[in-house]
Amino acid sequence: MAESQMAASLRYRRILLKLGGEALGPRHTSEAGEPRIGIDPVAVRRIAAEVKRVHDLGVEVAMVIGGGNIWRGADAAAAGMDRATADYVGMLATVMNSLAMQDAMEKLGLVTRVQTAIEMPPVAEPFIRRRAVRHLEKGRVVILAAGSGNPFFTTDTAAALRAIELNAQVLLKATKVDGVYDDDPMRNANARKFEELSYMRALNMGLKVMDSTAISLCKDNRLPIVVFNLDQPGALEAIMRGEKRGTLVHDLEESVIGERA
């Protein structure tokens, strides 16, 4: 297929992919049964390869990566650390993940830029909206680190904010499961999956799609969210081609929501 025909067949041309930090971390646990922390190079390379598949189709890709595989600000605050300080440490964790992802992507031949909400010139560019847009237009993958640069706001909210700022057509939230359920499918085999969901129902039901601030931002700016499982090979590419994967959260009449898988 010619490049122009391939591009014309895509559902989305500019995306923002949100990854939790756990996606980059070790999948096994310690001898004591506790989750291991850190960065797993194998997991990073696998994700980088999935992103390259869609980039090769002509999709402009921006990314926001959490830091939960290294540090959780909320947990540290609950243990007595000042919340703002704990959140700033978490922002630095996202920079570490972003640099690891940049390295993996560039080894695959992708041209990338890491931009941070907290300035650190030796390792990354500061986030400048116009510069980020220009990078995307030139075919560079832009990895947006350090959240929004503000404590008390999650990386989900940062992802929604950056997606809106960069005029992304969709916010893709990668999770461990293949969509949004009315209960935890890992614990409840009878949990119902939603094929589509309205912003308001996601908020009112307290579903763990993203935090409420992030969903509200998307709702106010009519930015659709697709929640999907990045562990399924080719899932990201399938979404770009218009196939139904995961759960679509968008402007939807209440009378037609709640469809089951």
The answer to whether 217 and 225 are in contact (CB under 8 A) is no
C-alpha separations of 210 from 56, 155, 156, 201, 215 in Å: 28, 10, 6, 13, 6
126 is known to lie in a ligand binding site: no
152 is known to lie in a ligand binding site: yes
Cβ atoms within 10 A of the Cβ of 215, count? Answer: 21
150 is known to lie in a ligand binding site: yes
57 is known to lie in a ligand binding site: no
252 is known to lie in a ligand binding site: no
127 is known to lie in a ligand binding site: no
122 is known to lie in a ligand binding site: no
213 is known to lie in a ligand binding site: no
129 is known to lie in a ligand binding site: no
175 is known to lie in a ligand binding site: yes
The answer to whether 18 and 64 are in contact (CB under 8 A) is yes
72 is known to lie in a ligand binding site: yes
153 is known to lie in a ligand binding site: yes
10 is known to lie in a ligand binding site: no
Binding residues for ATP: 18-21, 68, 72, 175, 181, 184
Known binding-site positions for UMP: 67, 87, 148-155
* Binding-site entries: 18-21, 67-68, 72, 87, 148-155, 175, 181, 184
